[in-house]
């Protein structure tokens, strides 16, 4: 078993790094694409076979779900960084305690989310102005969906542990299996049993349970230092505090971004339903490019964490340069291909010429400059991997969140056009990237100086 587990592990502290980064990145990127495709399958099934009200009910919960869940998902970033650090340093006892604390935290977080989702669903959805003809279905969907939160948290934290030791393949396999089950159950529950939104939610819970069981089983059967013993599950206070120190700012950042996105969406809404439809279609296309870039941010967290733990600080600069070159390449190529093929891609979502025109407008601004967003996220990833989480949170929230809000109430109010709204994205990415580079340079110089002392 030890030999079997070892083939999935990766030494991220010795070069050449390019091949290792790609081996780590590709399964991680494919996992994100699969998640996006399976989520799209949920929407397609309920929209095609349960009607527009059911589709609207599922769609109306997404921003609220993200607001609640992303905060806790941020903690898994802390787990990833610390497991990678202890693994790279060869600290077996610290690594084992971190693994057990992470999984216990995941289960507790999941239980908290069960109650939060059930209690908040009704009041929050009504406060968001969810129409009366879909509110009951929206509440039902969200309450069933949140029953599966312990499984969702267990998978995310378990996958974070595996990524930290260099394994992105097994989480991909588990996600693929669970996703296929999800699609099959969607069709069964919605078409055969006419369960509508309840069927889609139940299928999601079951698939989440499968992925969680598989990743927990993987950790429990391992003979490596990161082996999980269910009888030893506990919270080590010092490990929890360190995990929260890194993870809470990341979770808070994700949650606050969700709030700012609601404001941006309301600005788009002011241009009418056709503009909204074009914006939604373009955003879906952008999602595939974003996750292709964001996987580099997750990659560099693990690589930086291992090298930081092993005190191989010079490697961090080399890895950052490689990741920046690759994420810029992916962003430029995929982004511009999406824009050049926007007319064809947008027809998948709508045949309305005006919808397509509005979608092309968004893609012309966002996709052609999307590499800046990817490069910004990579800088956040390297800083988090080094243990700095508050700094990138404050910079990101100021540069990419507060800036857009100020833009909406000043520049956009004076020049009320969608182009003016969309151009705030690349400007905010560039400014935030620039400040992140300065922060990294200062921190990295101190790190290298400390190593030579």
Residue written as tokens 């312990």? 150
Are both 178 and 293 inside the same structural domain? Answer: no
Is residue 13, in this structure, part of any structural domain at all? Answer: no
Residues 281 and 136 reside in one and the same domain: no
Please check whether residue 255 lies inside any domain of the structure.
Answer: no
Question: What is the reported pLDDT for 265?
Answer: 67
In this structure, the answer to whether residues 232 and 306 fall within a common structural domain is: no
Q: Is residue 290 part of a domain?
A: yes
Q: Is residue 324 part of a domain?
A: yes
Tell me which residue range forms the domain holding 301: 270-453
pLDDT confidence of residue 6: 63
The helix/strand/coil state of 166 is coil
Distance of CA 350 to the CA centre of its chain: 27
Other residues' Cβ atoms within 10 Å of the Cβ of residue 90: 11
Please say which residue of 183, 218, 248 terminates a domain.
248
Predicted pLDDT at 1: 39
Are both 201 and 168 inside the same structural domain? yes
Same structural domain for residues 338 and 390? yes
Do 221 and 324 belong to one domain?
Answer: no
- Per DSSP, the residues of 100-148 read HHHHHHHHHHHHHHHHHHHHHHHHHHHHTT--HHHHHHHHHHHHHHHHT
Residues 339 and 432 in one domain: yes
Q: Considering its fold, how many domains does the chain have in total? A: 2
Do both 340 and 377 map to the same domain?
A: yes
The owner of tokens 């700094």 is: 391
Whether residue 259 lies inside any domain: the answer is: no
The predicted pLDDT at position 2 comes to 44
Residues 433 and 291 in one domain: yes
Structure tokens given for 191: 């078409």
Distance CA 201, CA 117 (A): 13
Burial (Cβ within 10 Å: 0-12, 13-18, ≥19) of residue 200: buried
Write out the chain's pLDDT in tens, 453 residues.
344 556 777 888 887 899 999 999 999 899 888 877 777 777 777 777 777 677 767 766 776 787 788 888 888 999 999 999 999 999 999 999 999 999 999 999 999 999 999 999 999 888 767 778 788 988 999 999 999 999 999 999 999 999 999 899 999 999 899 989 999 999 999 899 989 889 999 999 999 999 999 999 999 999 888 999 999 999 999 999 999 998 888 888 877 776 676 677 667 767 876 777 787 778 878 888 999 999 999 999 999 999 999 999 999 999 999 999 999 999 999 999 999 999 898 887 777 888 889 889 999 999 999 999 999 999 999 999 998 888 998 998 888 788 988 998 999 999 989 999 999 999 999 999 999 999 999 999 998 887 665
Q: Is residue 184 part of a domain?
A: yes
**Residue 7 covered by a domain:** no
- 238/377 same-domain check: no
């Amino acid at each position: 078993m030890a030999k079997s587990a070892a083939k999935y592990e990766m030494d991220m502290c010795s070069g050449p790094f390019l091949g290792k980064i790609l081996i780590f990145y590709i399964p991680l990127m494919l996992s994100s694409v699969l998640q996006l495709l399976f989520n799209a399958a949920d929407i397609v099934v309920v929209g095609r076979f349960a009607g527009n009200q059911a589709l609207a009910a599922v769609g109306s919960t997404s921003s609220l779900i993200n607001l609640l869940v992303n905060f806790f998902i941020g903690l898994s970033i802390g787990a990833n960084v610390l497991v990678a650090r202890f693994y790279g340093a060869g600290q077996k006892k610290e690594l084992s305690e971190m693994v057990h604390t992470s999984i216990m935290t995941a289960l507790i977080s999941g239980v908290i989310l069960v109650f939060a989702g059930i209690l908040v669903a009704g009041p929050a959805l009504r406060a968001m102005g969810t129409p009366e003809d879909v509110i009951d279905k929206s509440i039902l969907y969200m309450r069933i969906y949140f029953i599966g939160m312990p499984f969702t948290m267990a998978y995310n934290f378990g996958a974070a542990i595996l990524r930290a030791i260099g394994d992105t393949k097994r989480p991909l396999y588990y996600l693929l299996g669970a996703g296929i089950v999800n699609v099959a159950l969607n069709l069964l529950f919605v078409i055969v049993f006419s369960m509508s939104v309840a069927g889609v939610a139940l299928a999601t819970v079951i698939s989440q349970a499968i992925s969680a069981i598989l990743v927990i089983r993987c950790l429990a059967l391992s003979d490596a230092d990161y082996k999980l013993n269910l009888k030893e599950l506990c919270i080590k206070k010092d490990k929890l505090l360190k995990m929260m120190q890194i993870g809470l700012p990341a979770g808070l950042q994700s949650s606050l971004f969700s709030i700012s996105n609601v404001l941006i969406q309301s600005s788009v809404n002011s241009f009418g339903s056709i503009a909204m439809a074009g914006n939604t279609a373009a955003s879906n296309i952008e999602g595939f490019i974003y996750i292709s870039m964001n996987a580099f941010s997750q990659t560099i967290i693990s690589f930086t964490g291992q090298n930081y733990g092993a005190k191989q600080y010079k490697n961090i600069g080399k890895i950052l340069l490689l990741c920046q070159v690759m994420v810029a390449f992916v962003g430029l190529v995929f982004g511009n291909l999406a824009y050049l093929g926007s007319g064809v891609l947008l027809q998948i979502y709508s045949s309305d010429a005006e919808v397509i025109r509005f979608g092309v407008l968004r893609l012309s601004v966002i996709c052609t400059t999307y590499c800046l967003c990817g490069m910004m996220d990579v800088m956040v990833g390297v800083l988090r991997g080094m243990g700095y989480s508050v700094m990138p949170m404050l910079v990101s929230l100021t540069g990419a969140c507060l800036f857009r809000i100020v833009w909406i109430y000043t520049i956009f109010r004076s020049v009320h056009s969608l182009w003016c709204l969309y151009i705030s994205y690349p400007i905010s990415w560039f400014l935030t990237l620039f400040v992140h580079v300065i922060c990294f340079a200062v921190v990295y110089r101190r790190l290298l100086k400390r190593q030579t002392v």
